[in-house]
Amino acid sequence: MNQMPPKRRGDAREKILELAESAVLAKGFTATSIDELVAGAGITKSGFFYHFKDKNALAKAMILRYLERDQTLLDDLFRRADELNEDPLHGFLVGLKMFAELMADLPDNYPGCLAASFCYQDQLFDAEIRDLNAQGMLEWRQRFRARFEAIAGRYPPSEAVDMEALADMTTVLVEGGLILGRALQDSSILPRQILMFRDYVRLVFAPG
């Protein structure tokens, strides 16, 4: 009879993080218990504490994992867009179209954004975790500001544009679109907002 391979420690850690993220998005960090994560992962409580010394360590691992995935997703998406078009404006517009298509594939009951959830509950976390979350949002600002400045170098806007505020619009529309889509049970809201932002960017940097 074939035997199942033993569960690796890394697999158990990843399972805990998956369960924790789903639970936190569904009901919040305080309401997520170590006991339910232990039961869901099929491990002992000592197994949990092998990976995370306490819930604060779990929270740190969750936000680091989330930010790494977020950065990888954006890096890959806009890299592919750049490969399709060397023009900085047209490449960015392609990237936004691809981003909208990606967000359109989210399920209707998509639970939301872990970074936003941590913001709403920031009093539960220490300064390190709050700083990590803020740094993730600043990374979005820096990423998109660099994009807009590159576009402006080729297509100077006809009127002065606050590049930092324009970059922050990406975070604002994604988080707002997720919230509104969840409240209204309409998963089409976020991709439509991204496409409208795409039209706005085209107008801001319209050649001639």
Residues 6+ apart with CB under 8 A from 63: 114, 115, 118, 129, 132, 133, 136
Q: Is residue 148 within 8 Å of residue 130, measured between CB atoms?
A: no
* 126-153 confidence digits (pLDDT tens): 999 999 999 999 999 999 999 999 999 9
What pLDDT is attached to residue 9?
A: 54
Cα Rg of the chain (Å, integer): 20
* 172-188 confidence digits (pLDDT tens): 999 999 999 988 989 89
What pLDDT is attached to residue 10?
A: 62
User: Which DSSP symbol is given to 158?
Assistant: S
What pLDDT is attached to residue 161?
A: 95
What pLDDT is attached to residue 6?
A: 38
In this prediction, the residues of the chain whose per-residue pLDDT falls under 50 are 1-7
What pLDDT is attached to residue 108?
A: 66
* 147-170 confidence digits (pLDDT tens): 999 999 999 998 899 999 999 999
What pLDDT is attached to residue 3?
A: 35
What pLDDT is attached to residue 206?
A: 87
